[in-house]
Amino acid sequence: MGLVFYDTETTGTDTYFDQILQFAAIKTDSDFNEIDRINIRCRILPHVVPAPGAMRVTGVGASQLIDAALPSHYAMVRMIRAKLIEWSPAIFVGYNSLTFDERLIRQALYKTLHNPYLTNTKGNSRSDVMRIAQACSLFEPGALKIPAGDGGRRVFKLERVAPANGFKHKNAHDAMGDVEATIHVCRLIAEKAPDVWSAFMRFSQKAAVADYIADETVFCVSDYFYGNPHSCLATLIGQNGDNKNEWYIYDLSIDPESLQPLSAAQLAVRLGRSPKPLRRLRSNGVPMLFPAEQAPDVCKGRECGLDELMRRAQMLKTDEALCERLISAFESTRAEYPPSPHVERQIYDGFFASDDEKLMEAFHEAEWPDRPAIVEALQDPRLTAIGRQLIYVERPDVLDDAIRQECRIAMSRRLLGIGEDIDWMTLPEALSELETMREGASETELVQFLRDHDLHLRRLLREARKHAA
């Protein structure tokens, strides 16, 4: 199976409300030999406000955001999707991609009336090189040089890790430059830490994760939280009935016999205290899993000895009642969040019906004048809202006058930050941030760069105020 290394540059860091401005990817074989590549940019959506800090980092000028020579966001997504489908099935690999780029790609597909689950369905799977680098620091500490930041804490940012390991990073924060840097890091890992690389390629498949944690009585699971490593020796005690990709694992450094006498209320309190006996493991989240014998020195439970850990694991496997009580108490502590009024945050509120999937396909095949009727026929209100906005951005002339006016007002209010639960960058917020940045700027080039963005945002502000009422 081929590897697809990819990266994005965006208008900001909010994976729900920001957008991709540049997408780059390189497909390789298993030995990292390049097969094909794509590098594409697009214009900014009219209802998205670029974060000034992000624009300064990536060097995207105001004129580039609205360059008519660039494709629209919709046209870009269509080209990206076609290329990724052409390359499938593959393992999609990014750097810190599971918590950022992957979510942005899903949003881009969702907001253009496509099924968002492209990289982990139909034989595709995914992995994250930052997690592989973190695993190397634990299980093969000599394989990569990990630079230290303030206070001596290890820094896993690509722009620090790649140069520390010999990559000439001339185009940091350019999507294609970051893709090439990611491939460079992967080559080193595959060469110097082949067991770590093989484990992550194996566990990019969620079925392999499920089989492993079911077959291994005791295994090591690791992760990083706020830059610090956390490892424990664990055993599987159950599966989430509502989410087949979520499993419950028990930290064997805590003797389960100490939990047996506790009532349901006492268990719920204990499970919320550190060290926490129970945690969730997502089989589709590329977990760091290794044999118990390879557990690093920092791993909790090593001091107990493997025989004692096996005894505790066996005790849990024979005491189904305790496992059920643990899971029930654990689930009782799960926070519940009210549904969001914003369609961007509703992406995971259920899968699309098959009839709507067919209409979504028909939408992309139809001529623009025929598309509004298809959008109005969609049963899922999320898709109707997305479809109307998409048409308003691309071809407002084909919309009904009332819907067009409704979209114009909604877009203007969004830009101005009028309404409740404002989670996105607004024009007033961006202008305030720009003013602060301009006060501290001294270089002529930077001053002009920020001034251009200021002028662009003020033009948007004037237009939005006209139509917000």
Say how many CA atoms lie within 13 Å of 41 toward its Cβ: 16
The domains of the chain are located at 2-196, 205-332, 343-467
Residue-level pLDDT at 334: 82
**Distance from C-alpha of 134 to C-alpha of 224, rounded to nearest angstrom:** 7
Residue-level pLDDT at 193: 96
Question: Considering just the CA atoms, what is the radius of gyration of the chain in Å?
Answer: 25
Tokens of 76: 């870009």
Query: Which CATH class for the 205-332 domain?
Result: alpha beta
Same fold for the domain at 2-196 and the one at 205-332?
Answer: no
Tokens of 274: 């550190």
Tokens of 231: 């490892």
**Distance from C-alpha of 405 to C-alpha of 117, rounded to nearest angstrom:** 32
**Distance from C-alpha of 353 to C-alpha of 381, rounded to nearest angstrom:** 12
Angle at 6 between CA 245 and CA 133, to 5 degrees: 70
Residue-level pLDDT at 172: 67
Residue showing tokens 């496509």: 114
CATH superfamily of 2-196: Ribonuclease H-like superfamily/Ribonuclease H (3.30.420.10)
- Count CB atoms within 10 A of the CB of residue 207: 11
* 219-225 vs 228-239, strand pairing mode: antiparallel
Residue-level pLDDT at 375: 98
3-state DSSP assignment of residue 348: coil
**Distance from C-alpha of 268 to C-alpha of 275, rounded to nearest angstrom:** 13
Ramachandran assignment for 452, one of left (phi > 0), alpha (psi -120 to 50 degrees), beta (any other): alpha
Residues of the chain with pLDDT below 70 are 172
**Distance from C-alpha of 31 to C-alpha of 282, rounded to nearest angstrom:** 28
**Distance from C-alpha of 208 to C-alpha of 205, rounded to nearest angstrom:** 5
Residue-level pLDDT at 442: 78
* This model's pTM is above 0.85: yes
